[in-house]
Amino acid sequence: MRLFKTIQRKLFGSTPTYDGVGGGRRSLAWVVGNPGAVAALLFSQNELRAKSRDLVRRNAWASAALEAYVSNAVGTGIKPQAMIADPVIREQIQSLWRDWTEVADASGLTDFYGQQALACRAMLEGGEALIRIRFRRPEDGLPVAMQLQVLEPEHLPVTLNTTADSGNVIRAGIEFDALGRRVAYHLYRNHPEDGFLAPMSSSTGLSTVRVDATEIIHLFRPLRPGQIRGEPWLARALVKLHELDQYDDAELVRKKTAAMFAGFITRLSPEDNLVGEGLTDANGVALAGLEPGTLQILEPGEDIKFSQPADVGASYSDFLRMQFRAVAAAMGVTYEQLTGDLTQVNYSSIRAGLLEFRRRVEAIQHGVLVHQMCRPIWQAWMDQAVIEGALKLPGYTLGNVSQRRTYLACKWIPQGWQWVDPQKEFGAMVTAIRAGLLSRSEAISSFGYDAEDIDREIAADNARADSLGLVFESDPRHDKPGVTFTPTNSAASTANSATSAENL
């Protein structure tokens, strides 16, 4: 190290190239480490996860931030739209998928889109989530013999680091082959923190079981190249949120004490009591009551002093606002979503904040939720449906890669965004469509709907209106200048004939 510093001084002089380098007065106490992506979480992940879960349980702001992220990233669900060209096959796939989503949860508590929200919340709170694909028997009567089980990351022991009998390396509970591919996960049979609630027999207990990687979906947000385990999303806000919680609680107690208007009576002769008041209780404490409208006359030798708790004045709200902005930045949400405070926003400011937040959410939707969770589940579901004959797809075999890829093509559509001023946003969208800069399908997809479903609904609505002789201002077929729309159905013709007869 001394030789290195000597070479550094000769090359660059005594002044460091960067301000953060060196041992000056300002950097003297700045002691840093540089662990790798795996080692950084090896000894800290369990503690970070435990503190994150504790904050979410007790702290309203931490819980609100997680709920805001889940409701925006998943909402009512990220739904698939098959891209196969044949409309008949496409409708068969979509229909079977809709039936299966109702029974996708192995626990029977929600549907597939509810599992998306559950897995997303587990990822935010604990840093990662595990989804196990469970293949079922034909006699279970499922539309497709497959279900999903969402597991918390505690089932995957971060301390399991060894070499398997096959020579594969096991790091943080994940088994890798010689090429660095994930081949298996070593999972606890029961949650390790369930204690006496978990069966502790020799066949279960806290022993691990090897599960093939094709049956496990490991959901987490990678922040560094080479990272294999997830980091809780509250990691950068844990200390500040904990301190803010204590500070706010202390302020509440201070206000409560001040509102009680507590007073203290002192006597020169404590042994003398006034008409029974001031007698000590079982604990030896003497108390005197004060009721509204009381004019208390003090005896000679007595004096009263009132408590005067310190008041932070107007700085309390400003201080909390600045601290919450730092917490919101650390958690990746807006200040308004974290606190629910909308007192200092206008249309422009809240729209700018929401646009930035939505870009961040869309990156998580497509780069994490869709890529790591939705796509593998869709592929496993399609394979299982073809194997058991629930879908008849000509040429769909594992060996026919190109044809199989054609069938697996899918577009995942998240729930649409609700804008601050829909009239302005829809006006801009209509202008973009008319200018050829945006398709109707893409515009409809941005609201979380399937364009084909919308077109079928519009056609059905128009046919029903025509059959009943109804004309609505919302029907764009009547807005063209110089064109008069005349219903051709018998009901409308009968109504027109009756009107003409009355006029005669």
Predicted local confidence at residue 25, as pLDDT: 72
Task: Return the closest-CA partner of residue 390 out of 96, 88, 81, 106.
Answer: 96
Q: Is 100 within 8 Å of 143 (Cβ atoms)? A: yes
Give residue limits of the domains in the chain. 35-271+313-413
C-alpha to C-alpha distance for 164 and 455, rounded to whole angstroms:
56
Predicted local confidence at residue 228, as pLDDT: 94
Q: How does DSSP assign 238-284, residue by residue?
A: HHHHHHHHHHHHHHHHHHHHHHHT-EEEEES-TT--BTTBT-B-TTS
Q: What is the mean pLDDT of residues 154-169?
A: 93
Q: How many residues does the chain have?
A: 504
Q: What is the mean pLDDT of residues 12-33?
A: 70
Residues with Cβ within 8 Å of 148's Cβ and at least 6 positions away in sequence, in order, are 104, 105, 106, 112, 115, 131, 132, 133, 134, 377
Q: How does DSSP assign 290-309, residue by residue?
A: --TT--PPPPTTEEEEE---
Per DSSP, 415 falls in state: P
Q: What is the mean pLDDT of residues 330-352?
A: 85
Residues with Cβ within 8 Å of 346's Cβ and at least 6 positions away in sequence, in order, are none
**Position with higher pLDDT, 255 vs 128:** 128
Q: What angle do CA 385, 371, 410 make, to 5 degrees?
A: 50
Task: Return the closest-CA partner of residue 390 out of 93, 88, 90.
Answer: 93
C-alpha to C-alpha distance for 256 and 252, rounded to whole angstroms:
6
**Position with higher pLDDT, 482 vs 471:** 471
Q: Is 104 within 8 Å of 112 (Cβ atoms)? A: yes
Tell me the two tokens of residue 230.
């997830």
Predicted local confidence at residue 412, as pLDDT: 94
Pairing of strands 182-188, 208-212: antiparallel
Residues with Cβ within 8 Å of 105's Cβ and at least 6 positions away in sequence, in order, are 111, 112, 114, 115, 147, 148
Look at residue 24 and tell me whether its pLDDT is greater than 80.
no
C-alpha distance from residue 73 to each of 77, 117, 274, 357, 362 (Å): 9, 8, 68, 10, 7
pLDDT in tens, 89-100: 999 999 999 999
Q: Is 415 within 8 Å of 77 (Cβ atoms)? A: yes
Strands across the sheet with 146-151, in order? 146-151, 128-135, 216-220
C-alpha distance from residue 427 to each of 335, 423, 448 (Å): 29, 6, 19
**Position with higher pLDDT, 303 vs 171:** 171
Tell me the two tokens of residue 371.
């890529």
Least confident span in 267-271, 301-305, 435-439, 492-496: 492-496
Least confident span in 20-29, 41-50, 380-389, 412-421: 20-29
Q: Where are the beta strands (DSSP E) in 294-436?
A: 302-306, 410-413
pLDDT in tens, 128-148: 999 999 999 989 999 999 999
Instruction: Determine the 3-state secondary structure of 152 from DSSP.
Output: coil
C-alpha distance from residue 257 to each of 246, 251, 263, 264, 311 (Å): 16, 10, 11, 13, 12
Q: Please, what is the average pLDDT of the chain?
A: 82
pLDDT in tens, 367-414: 999 999 999 999 999 999 999 999 999 888 877 888 899 999 999 999
> Which residues, listed in sequence order, are joined to residue 135 by a DSSP beta bridge?
146
Positive or negative, the CA dihedral 437, 441, 443, 445 is: negative
Q: Is 83 within 8 Å of 266 (Cβ atoms)? A: no
Task: Return the closest-CA partner of residue 90 out of 407, 387, 395.
Answer: 407
Phi and psi angles of residue 110, each rounded to the nearest 5 degrees, phi first: -155, -175
C-alpha to C-alpha distance for 23 and 273, rounded to whole angstroms:
68
Instruction: Work out the burial of residue 365: count CB atoms within 10 Å of its CB; fewer than 13 is exposed, 13-18 middle, 19 or more buried.
Output: buried
Pairing of strands 128-135, 79-82: unpaired
Tell me the two tokens of residue 295.
């004019």
**Position with higher pLDDT, 419 vs 91:** 91
